[in-house]
Amino acid sequence: MSRYVSYRDFDWLLLVLVLMICGLGVMEIRSATMHTKFAGSHIKQIYWVFAGVGMMFLISLVNYQALLDRIHWFYIAAVASLMAVMIFGQKYLGARRWIKMPGGNHFQPSEWVKLILILAVAKYFADLRHRELSWPDFMKAGAIVGIPMLMVLAQPDLGTALTYIPIAIMGVFLGGMQWKQGLAVALLAAVGVGAVFFTPRVHILKTYQKQRLTSFLQPEDDPQGSGYQVEQSKIAVGSGGLWGGKGSQTHGAFLPVPQTDFIFAAFSEEHGFVGALGVLLLYFIVLMRLTQNAQTAPDRAGTFVVMGVVAVLSFHILVNVGMVVGFMPVTGIPLPLMSYGGSSVLFMFLALGMVMNVRMRRFVN
């Protein structure tokens, strides 16, 4: 089976859109970290973006079908790396999330596990021959995502663990989930959340996690603690107005971590409703372009891969921007492509590389 692969089929428009978002991100990182000890972060971010683009081209060359055929090895490696974190991980701020690599770098396996999960879920559903999902299939899909998710939750890293859920949901939804299954899962989830929050004996979530998750509902009640960040973020966004303002929230350091999790709040403060809406529009076009690529994928597996990326990206945007405008709790989920941070940037470009990979092979077979 000969395959014709050409960069003519590479999604250059998508790359341009993505780089525009990255550019806005770099600009905002520069503005937000000026006069702070993080000054110069935007230069590092540019390096990360270049590295990401390079990785994207590299991964687009490797046939995704070849990757999918070996996915069980990758999955085992992923689970192993999470176990390694549990055993050898660096404890930082009460959580064990990183492995110290030779050369002083820190490796956070939970990010690349996300990518493995997208592929694993895609492989699993692509191989299913039923139009409708059976309960055992449903359970197996849940287990594929659930095992690494619980391991990440144990680190504890609630935010990243949550980002695994949309991969599973997108998988079962496109894989032929039945309505009653959806309903059952929704009910189970509701009961589970209720148990986590209202049963004092269950310690799945730590107290600070519960506080962070609930304080966004009433940030004014606790302006010094968990609610402070939400309140400051809302003030930043709101004071931006239609066209943007002076940015006193960002530059006066009232806004917490304005270069990472709250970069969208910083951007909204400085560029107003018009600027913020513009960024949302860019993200929306990117997502629409991705779903279009999913539709033109050469096979079921390709569609699942691309839609997995769509699910993760949408979820990140929903949770991060939702947090910034006060709709969502503070979970520590960065805004993909804009937020400062190597792991996040590399993951996004690797994921986009997978999308390119699928697209470049759309006329094959």
Partner 1 sequence: MFGRDEKVSAIRLTAAQYLILGIFLVLAYGLWRLQVMQTDLYATLAEKNRIRNVPILAPRGKILDREGRIIVDNYPSFSALLLRDSSRDLNADTDLIAQGLHLDANEVRARIRHFAAMPQYQPIFLKEDITPDEQAFIEAHRNELPELDTIRADRRLYPRNGFMAHLIGYVGEVTEDMLNQPQFELYSPGDVVGVSGVERQYNNALMGKNGARQELVNSHGREVGLLGETDAIPGKQLKLTVDIDLQIAAEEALEGKNGAIVAMDPRTGEILAMVSRPTFDPNDFAVRVSRDEWNKLVTDPDKPLLNKAIQAQLAPGSTFKIIMSVAGWQEGIAQDLHVNCTGGAEFYGRRFGCWVKSGHGPVTLEKAIYQSCDVFFYTLAEKLGIDRIAKYATALGLGQKTGIDLPNEVTGVMPSEEWKIRNFKQKWFAGETISVGIGQGAVAITPVQLMRAIAAISMGGRLVVPHVVDPQELPSGYVETSHVTETKNVPIDPNGWTFITDAMSRVLLPEGTAPSAHIPGIDIAGKTGSAQIVSLATRAKFKNSEALNQNGWFVGFTPRRNPDVIVCVLFEGGEHGKLAARLATQVLKAYVDKQRRVPNKMVDAPKSDGKVDMGALWTAPEGDKLEGGRFSLILPKKPSVLATAAPGMASTEYLVPNTGKMQ
283 is an interface residue for partner 1 by CB under 8 A: yes
224 is an interface residue for partner 1 by CB under 8 A: yes
287 is an interface residue for partner 1 by CB under 8 A: yes
CA dihedral 114, 115, 121, 122 (to 10 degrees): 160
Using alpha carbons, select from 168, 159, 105, 96 the residue that is nearest to residue 133: 168
288 is an interface residue for partner 1 by CB under 8 A: yes
CB of 254 to partner 1, least distance (A): 4
φ, ψ of residue 17 in degrees (nearest 5): -60, -45
Residue 91, classed as helix, strand or coil, is: strand
Q: What does the angle CA 142 – CA 148 – CA 154 come to, to the nearest 5 degrees?
A: 120
- Pick the stretch among 78-86, 97-105, 191-199, 231-239 that binds partner 1 (CB under 8 A): 231-239
Is residue 331 within 8 A of residue 157, CB to CB? The reply is no
Is residue 229 within 8 A of residue 212, CB to CB? The reply is no
Q: What does the angle CA 348 – CA 354 – CA 356 come to, to the nearest 5 degrees?
A: 100
In the list 30, 318, 362, 364, the residue contacting partner 1 (rule: CB under 8 A) is 318
Residue number, 54 or 252, with CB nearest to partner 1: 252
Is residue 354 within 8 A of residue 68, CB to CB? The reply is no
Instruction: Say how far apart CA 73 and CA 121 lie, in whole Å.
Output: 14
3-state DSSP percent of the chain in helix, strand and coil, to 5: 70, 5, 30
Place of tokens 């310690």: 203
Residue number, 144 or 297, with CB nearest to partner 1: 297
Annotate each residue in 97-136 with x if it binds partner 1 (CB under 8 A) or - if it does not, as one string. Answer: -----------------------------x--x-x-----
In the list 23, 142, 182, 326, the residue contacting partner 1 (rule: CB under 8 A) is 326
Is residue 308 within 8 A of residue 118, CB to CB? The reply is yes
180 is an interface residue for partner 1 by CB under 8 A: no
Residue number, 302 or 342, with CB nearest to partner 1: 302
170 is an interface residue for partner 1 by CB under 8 A: yes
- Pick the stretch among 79-87, 148-156, 242-250, 347-355 that binds partner 1 (CB under 8 A): 242-250
List beta partners, residue 92: 95
362 is an interface residue for partner 1 by CB under 8 A: no
Instruction: Say how far apart CA 36 and CA 25 lie, in whole Å.
Output: 17
71 is an interface residue for partner 1 by CB under 8 A: no
241 is an interface residue for partner 1 by CB under 8 A: yes
Binding site for partner 1 (CB under 8 A): 126, 129, 131, 170, 173-174, 176, 223-225, 228, 232, 234-242, 245, 248-249, 251-254, 268, 272-273, 276-277, 280, 283-284, 287-288, 291, 294-295, 299-300, 303-304, 307, 310, 314, 317-318, 321-322, 325-327, 365
